Amino acid sequence: YQRRNVLFIMADDLRTSLGCYGDSVVKSPNIDQLASKSKVFLNAYAQQAVCAPSRTSMLTSRRPDTTRLYDFKSYWRVHSGNYTTLPQYFKSQGYFTMSVGKVFHPGIASNHTDDYPYSWSIPAYHPASFRYEKEKMCKGEDGKLHANLLCAVNVTQQPGGTLPDMESTDEAVRLLKTRANDDVPFFLAVGFHKPHIPFRIPQEYLGLYPIEQMTLAPDPNVPKLLPPVAYNPWTDVRKRDDVQKLNISFPYGPIPKDFQLRIRQHYYAAVSYMDAQVGRLLRTLDELGLANSTTVVFTSDHGWSLGEHGEWAKYSNFDVTTHVPLIFFVPGVTSCHDQLRESTFPFIDPLTQSKPIFKIMRNMVELVDVFPTVSYMAGLKAPQPCPDISFQKELCTEGNNLAYTFQHQEQGQDEEAISFSQYPRPADTPQVNSDLPDLKDIKIMGYSLRSRDYRYTLWLGFNPKTFKVNVSDVHAGELYMLADDPGQDNNVYSDFEPSVMLTKMASLLQLLYLSAGRKTGRRKA
């Protein structure tokens, strides 16, 4: 391939609630339009369902047991190894690399610089209005301002008359214009903050989702056989002023049904608001004549529970938190430019809705696959697979280069392909710090396999000082057979003969023995 520019778009806490993933409620016309000209990976999974570990894993193509980042409190170059990142690799190959919004997790996890100057040619941009995100910005029924979860606002009354994702889109548009006539290829990463809480979004997007048309999750109760270690008590949601007023019992809730409906309404509205920003970005790419020479990747760091299993937020191993959108637009490969139709990505107002057709890939893939795949599809060499012990290896991948999927039609689903996620816990029962334990407090690691047919999770003893897993110290297990139980509500772990479980366990243990400093590549189950 000739070298292509890259526009790398990442949403925050976005589950697969998109039209192109079969969600019939959401209005996401711009992402759906992108998907209609792209390869859509229907079964892509994050390696850990929380921001910093997932982003560090995706951008280094190393699993959490190699980055050793399970919380927000260390910088991988110091903590585990000097791993080359996706943008750093492009920069080393002569690309001009730029970061807008939340790409790396800010703070300690990216050295308080978003990994500049390693990853970026210029310092990363953060929208000034983000500093108001956690403040009291939401008008309550009492007329006063609160730090609410539900925070639909009149944008003109916000500081600066704007919101973070609007500012980020403005800056990304400006940067695209500066690169349009430059011979140096660019890698522009744009990280949108929404639909991450709080739902501080323009109020008009709520109108797309009348509350009387919203429904509860299909499985709003905590499953009877869910091991307590697997449950996440959604502490960050509980801390918001409007949720505190509800006096919900810890850890199992539940949230009153009318408030559940409002959370779901606001989440969907936040997705549509973010979709409109994606539309503005893609329209600019188009207007500058860059759509023919730019690979576009759209993904998210992880999903978010909307009441399924009586849970909210991320912090678990279920599909609702690990399953993410992954969409690759490669000009000339996933779509041919139509000379008669000038525009590849005309902006679509989410108030209107179209129903395009999608080219889909059903096999299990993972976010560690993004680095090698986008490298190859942009015209660079994909990094080599990591050796078994890779702490000293700066550039390698623990994922797979998915380039072959762009050339060949999928021949049925590979029933043996698996994706691999994990989540740490401080105790066997839900604690205040269960959602996000500090490294020193992690006692148990839940390793989870997802295949076409099942999700299988083992909660195993973990030593945070040595990063070692004790595979004989099984705290709990979960097995969901997806043909009968797509929502993962009926844990049949204890129903199976030990010999059957041992066969399944063997594939998980193979991965575990290779983890914590040894390679955890995707194996056949």
Name the residues annotated as catalytic. Answer: 51, 105
Please report which helix (H) or strand (E) contains residue 272, including its range.
helix 257-287
- How far is Cα 228 from Cα 476, in angstroms, rounded to an integer? 9
B/e letters for 343-379, b = 16+ CB within 10 Å, e = fewer, are ebbebbebeeeeeeebebbebbbbbbbbbbbbbbbbe
Give the 3-state secondary structure of residue 187. Answer: strand
- How far is Cα 496 from Cα 501, in angstroms, rounded to an integer? 6
The single residue listed with the structure tokens 């000339």 is 332
- How far is Cα 51 from Cα 64, in angstroms, rounded to an integer? 12
Per 3-state DSSP, the chain is made up of helix, strand and coil in percentages (nearest 5) of 30, 20, 50
Four-residue CA torsion sign, 451, 456, 461, 464: positive
Please report which helix (H) or strand (E) contains residue 63, including its range.
none
Give one DSSP letter per residue of 311-340, joined into a string: -EES-SSSHHHHEE-EEEE-BTTTB---SS
Instruction: Please state, as a whole number, how many other Cβ atoms lie within 10 Å of the Cβ of residue 522.
Output: 20
Distance of CA 68 to the CA centre of its chain: 19
Instruction: Please state, as a whole number, how many other Cβ atoms lie within 10 Å of the Cβ of residue 94.
Output: 10
- How far is Cα 455 from Cα 523, in angstroms, rounded to an integer? 15
Please report which helix (H) or strand (E) contains residue 271, including its range.
helix 257-287
B/e letters for 260-278, b = 16+ CB within 10 Å, e = fewer, are bbbbbbbbbbbbbbbbbbb
> In terms of DSSP H, where are the helices of 76-121?
76-79, 86-92
- How far is Cα 237 from Cα 366, in angstroms, rounded to an integer? 27
- How far is Cα 206 from Cα 176, in angstroms, rounded to an integer? 30
